[in-house]
Amino acid sequence: MSHTVVTTTTTTRSSSGEGFLNLGYTRSVQGLLKIAQVVALLIAFLCVHCARGWTDYSAFRYFEVVTLWFLIAFLIFYLMYVFRLQSKIPCINWTMTELLHYGVGTILVFIASIVAAVKSGGVSELEAGSAFGFIATFLLAVSIWTSYKVTCGSQPTSKSEIL
Kindly list the averaged pLDDT for each block of 10 residues, start to end, along the chain of length 163.
Answer: 63 55 90 96 96 84 96 94 89 87 96 94 92 97 81 58 53
Which one-letter amino acid corresponds to residue 132?
A: F
- In sequence order, which residues have a C-beta less than 8 Å from that of residue 43 and are 6 or more positions away? 129, 132
pTM of the entire predicted model = 0.78
E strand intervals along 56-158: none
pLDDT at 12: 46
- How many whole angstroms separate alpha carbon 97 and alpha carbon 14? 28
pLDDT at 114: 96
pLDDT at 95: 83
Nearest to 75 by CA among 30, 38, 31: 38
